[in-house]
Structure 1
Amino acid sequence: MEEGSILRLILDLDGTLIRLKVDWRGVRRRLEEFLGPLPPGETVFERLSKVEGKEEVEKALGLIEHVEKEGLRSAQLDGEVAELLKDLRRKGVVLALVSMQARDVVEEVLEKMGLREEFEVVVTRDQSLRREEQLREVLSKVGWEDVLFIGDRDEDLEAAAKIGIPAIKARLVDGSIKHELRRLLGSLSKPS
Structure 2
Amino acid sequence: MEKRKDMKLIIFDFDGTLVYLNIDYNGMRESLKDYFRKHGINSEFRPLIPSVNRAVLQLEKKLGKSVIDEVFDIIDEFEKEGTDKCVVFPNAKEVLQKLKEMGFKVGIFSNNGEKCIYSVLEKIGAKDMVDMVFSRDKIKDGMNIKPAEDGILKMMKKLKAKKEEAWMVGDRIYDEIAAKAVGIKFIAVKTKYSECDFQNPDFVVTDLKEILKIVK
Task: Encode CA deviations 1:148-179: one digit per residue, 9 max, x unaligned.
Answer: 10111111111221222221221454697663
Amino acid at match of 2:156: L
The 5-angstrom pairing of residues 1-192 of structure 1 reads 7-35=8-36, 36-38=41-43, 42-50=46-54, 51-52=56-57, 53=60, 54-78=65-89, 80-128=91-139, 129-131=144-146, 132-142=149-159, 143-145=161-163, 146-173=165-192, 179=207, 181-187=208-214
Gaps in structure 2 of 5+ consecutive residues: 1-5, 195-203
SS in structure 1 at match of 2:108: strand
Task: Encode CA deviations 1:68-122: one digit per residue, 9 max, x unaligned.
Answer: 0111111001352101210121111211111222212111111112111111111
Between the two proteins, the alignment pairs up a number of residues equal to: 183
Deviation of the 1:8 alpha carbon: 1.0
Which residue does the alignment assign to 2:200? none
Give distance in 2, aligned partners of 1:15 and 1:173. Answer: 9
Q: Does the 8 Å CA contact 1:12/1:152 hold for their aligned counterparts?
A: yes
TM-score normalised by structure 2 residue count:
0.75
Which is further off, 9-18 or 93-102? 93-102
SS in structure 1 at match of 2:74: helix
Q: Does the 8 Å CA contact 1:79/1:113 hold for their aligned counterparts?
A: no
Identity, in percent, stands at: 24
C-alpha RMSD over aligned residues: 2.4
Which is further off, 58-67 or 42-51? 42-51
Q: Does the 8 Å CA contact 2:11/2:169 hold for their aligned counterparts?
A: yes
Query: Quick one: structure 1 residues 14 and 188, their matched pair in 2 at CA, closer, same or farther if it must change by over 3 Å?
Result: closer
Gaps in structure 1 of 5+ consecutive residues: none
Deviation of the 1:124 alpha carbon: 1.2
Larger RCO of the pair (alpha carbons < 8 Å, separation 6+): 1
TM-score normalised by structure 1 residue count:
0.83
Amino acid at match of 2:68: V
